[in-house]
Amino acid sequence: MGLHCSHFHGRGKWGTRIDPENCESLCYGCHIHMGSNPYIHMRRREAELGEVVFDLLRERSNDTRLGRMIKKQEREASKHYLAEYRRMQALRAEGVTGRIEFENFT
C-alpha cells in the first residue's frame, strides 16, 4: 500500500507539522501499529532522535506562536517542499540510491 508520512506529533500541531524530525516514512502496517501503540511509538522515536532533540521537538510542537507563523507561511512551505520533492525525484532518476536528505523549511 506504499509509504505513509507518519507524524509523531499530529498534523494539527502546526509548530511541527512540516518538521522533518516529526515525520518519517512508514509502510501502512507500521503506521497503523505505531498509531495504535503510542507508548511504543514514543520510546522508538525518542531512541531515534535522542532525548535532547526529542524534548526540543515536543517544545516546538506545543509552541503556538511558531504554529501560527508556520500556518501563515503554509503556501511558501508547500512551494518549498514541492521543489525539494522534485529535486529528490531528479536525483533518483540520475541513479542516486539510499536516503536523500532534504532542506527543512523552518
Cβ–Cβ under 8 Å, residues 49 and 19: no
Task: List pLDDT tens digits, range 35-69.
Answer: 999 999 999 999 999 999 999 999 999 999 999 88
Residues 66-91, mean pLDDT to the nearest whole number: 89
Domain-embedded: residue 18: yes
Structural domain contains residue 102: no
Residue percentage of the chain with pLDDT more than 70: 98
pLDDT, position 16: 92
- How many domains does the chain fold into? 1
- Over residues 14-29, the pLDDT tens digits come to 999 889 899 999 999 9
Burial class, 17, CB count within 10 angstroms (exposed 0-12 / middle 13-18 / buried 19+): buried
Residue 106 has pLDDT above 80, yes or no: no
Does the predicted TM-score (pTM) go above 0.75?
no
Task: Tell me, yes or no, whether 19 lies in a domain.
Answer: yes
Q: Is 43 part of a structural domain of the chain?
A: yes
pLDDT at 73: 83
Query: Is residue 82 in some structural domain?
Result: no
What gap in Å lies between CA 35 and CA 11, rounded to an integer? 13
Q: Is residue 84 part of a domain?
A: no
Residue 14 within a domain: yes
Domain with 47 in it: 3-73
Residue 29 within any structural domain of the chain: yes
